[in-house]
Amino acid sequence: MTRIDTRFAQLKDEGRKAFVAYIMAGDPNVESSLELMKGLPEAGVDVIELGVPFTDPMADGPTIQEAGQRALAGKMTLDKTLQMVRDFRAGDAETPIVLMGYYNPIYSRGVKRFLSEATEAGIDGLIVVDLPPEEDDELCIPAQEAGLNFIRLATPTTDDKRLPKVLENTSGFVYYVSITGITGAAAAQATDVGPEVARIKSQTDLPVIVGFGIRTPESAKEIAGIADGCVVGSAIVGEMASGARTEDVLAFVKSLADGAHSA
């Protein structure tokens, strides 16, 4: 079992919903993003989703795109991202970390080398949005053989014919994208999300976590109430971009986590 599997088993036993927080590695700099990352567990975050900055983030909206550009301008790299994880792990051996990014940097590094370094650093799972299930032999299967969860996204356009293929080699949890489009594009609506979550859960025993379009404690509670938890990314990244102090960003994160946990 990975840390992700363990965490979701604990949450199930406690009857609680999960709160997942996304941040961009190196935004606005390594020191600030590491300080924020270290504060997330105490703020109530159950799983950390750590973005790897990339030059062509096709699934991300302007807020996260700009965060990636700031990180790249500050010379953030995959090496430095993995070092961030090592530095975090020096003080936290339990909080699950999911690395979210795109395949190009992994391919350029070499899959075998990347997986070895990722597991050594303390990564627990991967979300690689530009590798479809048809390419599972490329990274998904090797990642799971290396002991990492490979988390797949399902979307409003994932119909009943496509869903079994999406779920086939997914592990850890299923990430349901609540809206059609890029991150931060619109608000998630529980009335739309609920039936889709139920449809996915009818075909898998994995937790279903909903992301995209969640910006407030109220919406975190609403969405977590009809799923196994929720993910917030753009709203947190936007707080960082506003120049807010780390402690103020963490207070905002705690309000979101409290909302999800009250579902």
Q: How far is CA 172 from the centre of its chain?
A: 11
C-alpha distances out from residue 83 to 26, 30, 37, 66, 79, Å = 11, 10, 13, 22, 6
- pLDDT score of 217: 97
| Percentage above 70 pLDDT, the chain | 97
- How confident is the model over 135-150, as a mean pLDDT? 98
Q: How confident is the model at residue 187 (pLDDT cuts 50, 70, 90)?
A: low
**What is the residue range of 249's domain?**
3-261
Q: Would you state the pLDDT for residue 110?
A: 98
Cα–Cα distance between 253 and 19 in angstroms, integer? 10
C-alpha to C-alpha distance for 46 and 7, rounded to whole angstroms: 7
One of 60, 124, 196, 239 is an active-site residue; which one? 60
pLDDT beyond 90 at 58: no
Q: What's the CA gap between 147 and 124, in Å, rounded?
A: 8
Of 49, 124, 136, 228, the active-site residue reads 49
| One-letter-per-residue 3-state SS of 185-204 | CCCCCHHHHHHHHHHHHCCC
What's the mean pLDDT in 12-39?
Answer: 97
Count of domains forming the chain: 1
49 belongs to the catalytic site:
yes
Could you read off the pLDDT of 116-131 as tens digits, one per residue?
999 999 999 999 999 9
Q: Which pLDDT belongs to residue 226? A: 95
User: Active site includes 60?
Assistant: yes
Task: Flag whether the pTM goes above 0.85.
Answer: yes
Domain of 179: which CATH number?
3.20.20.70
Question: Percentage of residues in the chain with pLDDT exceeding 90?
Answer: 91
CA dist., res. 42 & res. 96, Å (int):
13
